[in-house]
Amino acid sequence: MNICEIEEDELLDIKFSEDPDKYFKYYHEIMNSNLSILRIYYSICESNNLKKKIKARINNNYYCDCAFHRADDLPFRIVDEKKFWGCYGCGYSGSIITLISKFYDISIEESLELLYSYLTNEIAELNEKQIDIFKEMFQYYNSPSIDKLFLESQRKTELLDERIKRYIKTNNFCLEEEKIADRLCCSKKHVKKIIHKSL
């Protein structure tokens, strides 16, 4: 499964029952906002006493227990930067919007309204069920333990970047992305980015 492909596909698959202009506007504003899917996921897990193992990874990529199936191998991936998630175990994937719609069994429109309300600080338009979900989704959103995870991930990314730069230098500016990625156990894409920055 390629998380980048999901991003392209999802918008095409969404069929709004009414007022598509409004909901597409919501979609774009949410996707371009600083809302964090990882924070929301953390808050949902915390509110529902779900067992979760969110592991800090580099570049705001996180592996967690899936909210939709039981597994011990952490196949659930969250790409916080892109507000996307995908589970290699049960095969479900999507954006921050579909995560909420699927978890709470509400429509895509209701999910968009919920997130948009958070951005605009306006919950008056929400129905009773949405308000309950809203409270649950954001109850632990700013918890200090999730801040720690973000810091850890940031620190790991900086360390890796330093190692890549050092590797390039000590190997006579070897620019073989695949080899470096292999040696330092990271993605080729990330190595490419660092090489590009260092040149």
CB of 100 to Zn ion, least distance (A): 16
Strand order in the sheet with 93-95: 55-56, 61-64, 76-79, 84-87, 93-95
Which spans of this chain sit near Zn ion (rule: CB under 5 A)?
A: 66, 68-69, 87, 89-90
Q: How far is the CB of 95 from Zn ion (least distance, A)?
A: 16
By the 8 A CB rule, do 114 and 126 touch? yes
Residue 57 or 190 having the CB closest to Zn ion? 57
Q: Output the CA angle 187-188-193, nearest 5 degrees.
A: 100
d(CA 54, CA 65): 7
Nearer Cβ to Zn ion, position 15 or 70?
A: 70
Q: Which is nearer to Zn ion, 97 or 195 (CB)?
A: 97
Cβ 64 to Zn ion shortest distance, Å:
10
Closest to Zn ion by CB, 93 or 117: 93
Q: How far is the CB of 177 from Zn ion (least distance, A)?
A: 31
